[in-house]
Structure 1
Amino acid sequence: MVLGKAANMSLMDISKIFSLLQPKEDEENESQQLNQAVSNNDDKLLSELLVQDQYRRCINSRSGWGIPGTPLRMAAALGHLRCLEVLLAHGAEVDSLDVKAQTPLFTAVSAKHLDCVVVLLKAGADPNGSQYNNCSPVLTAAREGDVDILQELLDHGAEVDVRPKVPEWASNATACRGPLYITAVYGHLKCFKLFLLHGANPNFNCTDEKMLGRIKQPKTVLDICLHYGCGVEYIQLLIDFGADVYLPTLVTDKTTQHNEAVQLLLKKRVCPKTLMSQTRLAIRKYLPVANKMSCIDQLDIPHVLKNYLKHIT
């Protein structure tokens, strides 16, 4: 595909290419009929159309008002599951892009259609979305607190420490704010824990050492949680998953004497982790980040130890 040959394309470049990929006049009618069938959630009509060559040739055509997209994108956006399944069965491109460089999966995640997300991922959709889009399905699910959708994305290998794509010259603290930061600020505790379970870095939202080196005072996740007044549960989770309790800069005064989160952090600075806790961290660190939870299931150890590695009490 032509998009795959230019990793440094700008969004303007992509838009120009899409203008060349618009359906020809003699294909416009067929494309509109496909979109109309999807819009009406008429999967039977859609099936009847797609057995005909002239319609099947238009299955990946981008058309429509607003944001021109493929029929698959429309099905994902509307949550029309049966139409989405019919399109995939007839060869629709699962990671086709619209003019915003968004995939059907990204659209389904944004619209909170869990069933469509599941089907697209099983069909081979990239859980990280498009490299040309500044956002990603994971960042979107993190912001919205969609724990079920997030679970599906992470189970299919989505990057846990993904961050917004910005130019290299725009290196600042905001550019390093990944999904763990987002879930803390928005108060999505279940999503916060889910990221840690799947191997998110408990110290920084960004694992890009080059970018972190350009920031004078990069903030740890612990710093962020304390700054935004997150509950003590967030601090405890970060500590349990190996966050360095000595990294945050703490200023203790009368206002922090009754702050449970600060007091917990101060306590952990003088109380070393137990041998069991350190062993768990060492084993989890050894396991690959991708599919970490399924890797634990494959270990030849007692079930009770598997649960301990998964932080199941």
Structure 2
Amino acid sequence: MLLVPTSARAAAGGMANTVELPLQISAHAYLMNHMVDADDDDDVRLHLAALCGDDKGLRQITADPQYIQWLNYRVRPYMSPPLRLAVSGGNPECVEVLVSAGADIELEDVKGQTPIFVATCQKKLEIMKLLLEYGADPEPFDHIFTCVPGWPLQHAVVYAHFSCYFELLKSGALANLTSLPYEVAPRIVARLSIPHAILKYSREYPEFVKLYYECGGNLRQLGTAGTTCIEEFLECSPAKELLVTLSGLPLSLKSLCRVTIRQLLGRRNLHKLSSLELPLSLFPFLNFEEFSHYSLQTRLNTRSRIHTTEE
């Protein structure tokens, strides 16, 4: 297959197996960073536009009904559908175009990664929020039962990215797998323990513990060794100090009311919080907005590191 930029279409003439790239990217730059490997009869223009962040091109392509057949088509090397590639490309507009066109929001790549999982692991916060708004499942059934590739909430902890962690819980992700409508084996719950992940990967950030606690998380969750995280991780850390303090304290009545209201509404109806006949001052509390400054700080620190690296 030959990959050429759109401006070179005329020059390509009658060459077989020619695929156009968006104007803003050269074939050389594309090949140096990504490779979409398709069969000769495959039309991968959706995939290329999604990966390259060409939202205008995507709108034009998806407007033609004949391209709907390629909307969920997966290509090598990762057997990725266009939506998965759009997440990797980092353009929220591309994600929105594809989902609005009917792309399967839960379609996995060959590694079993759904778009929401990829967005979380790659710290694509705006895309993750967009997927959640469209109804992406933060507790995918197969991933929970096999632990492969994992649970988005846990991976936000593993990568110490509080912004993703905050948005997942704020959007209704469950703090406890035992709260799922189906039974999860104790060994799986233990393997995916959030408190253990916090003390292993995010021990310098006590805000992970505090938010988990305020969401009704089980701080005494047993891990794979049959012990609590306090017993398993002996070294002192800011997260452990707070966890030790909170593990013996019940949630305040106010916090219990918040958890209960959100549970009664359910994840799909959290957008209706603002329609409840409650004092306006309560809505920021119901949305855990007291933690938003931690999320902002995470983003500022990330930008600072990127700026330092570029210098």
Q: Distance in 2 between matches of 1:116 and 1:297?
A: 29
Distance in 2 (alpha carbons) for counterparts of 1:181 and 1:163: 15
Structure 1 residue identity aligned to 2:126: D
Q: Is the 8 A contact 1:163 1:176 kept in 2?
A: no
Q: Is 2:85 the counterpart of 1:135?
A: no
Whichever residue aligns with residue 72 of structure 2, its letter is S
1:243 is aligned, of 197, 201, 217, to 217
User: Residue type of the partner of 1:96?
Assistant: N
Q: CA deviation at 1:87?
A: 0.8
Equivalent in the alignment of 1:227 = 200
User: Is 1:203–1:222's contact at 8 Å kept on the other side of the alignment?
Assistant: no
Q: In structure 1, what is the Cα distance between the partners aligned to 2:130 and 2:189?
A: 36
1:201 aligned residue: 174
1:180·1:200 contact (CA, 8 Å) conserved in 2? yes
Matched residue SS, 1:85: helix
Matched residue SS, 1:127? coil
Check 1:252–1:222 CA distance in 2 against 1; reply closer, same or farther (3 A cut): closer
**Distance of aligned partners of 1:97 and 1:205 in 2 relative to their CA distance in 1, 3 Å threshold:** farther
Number of residues of Structure 1 aligned to a counterpart in Structure 2? 255
Q: What's the counterpart of residue 305 of structure 2?
A: none
- Name the residue aligned to 1:270: 248
Q: Which consecutive residues of structure 1, in runs of 5 or more, have no partner in the other structure?
A: 1-28, 43-63
Query: Which residue identity is paired with 2:74?
Result: D
State whether structure 2 residue 38 is matched by structure 1 residue 67: yes
Q: Are 1:309 and 2:295 matched, yes or no?
A: no
Q: Which residue does the alignment assign to 1:76?
A: 50
- TM-superposition CA deviations, 1:159-218 (whole Å, max 9, x none): 01237659x7xx4xx437301111111111100111111111213499585552454944
Could you say what secondary structure the match of 2:216 adopts? coil
Q: Given the alignment, which residue of 75, 99, 110 partners 1:99?
A: 75
Q: How does 1:35-54 map to 2 (within 5 A)?
A: 35-36=19-20, 38-40=21-23
TM-score normalised over the length of structure 1: 0.70
CA RMSD of aligned residues (A): 3.3
CA contact (8 A) 2:199 2:233 kept: no
Q: 1:130 to 1:277 in 2, by over 3 A?
A: same
Q: Secondary structure at the match of 2:71?
A: coil
CA contact (8 A) 1:160 1:198 kept: no
The percentage of counterpart residues that share the same residue type is 24
Q: What TM-score do the two structures reach when normalised by structure 2? A: 0.70
- Is the CA contact (8 Å cut-off) linking 1:202 and 1:238 kept in structure 2? yes
Can you give the 5+ residue segments of structure 2 that lack an aligned partner in the other structure? 1-13, 26-34, 223-227, 291-311
Query: For 1:312 and 1:215, how far apart are their aligned partners in 2?
Result: 31
After TM superposition, give the deviation of residue 118 of structure 1 in Å.
2.2
Report the counterpart of residue 300 of structure 2 in structure 1: none
Mapped partners of 1:310, 1:111: distance in 2: 30
Q: Which of 129, 141, 151 is the matching residue for 1:151?
A: 129
Partner of 2:10: none
For 1:181 and 1:122, how far apart are their aligned partners in 2?
Answer: 28
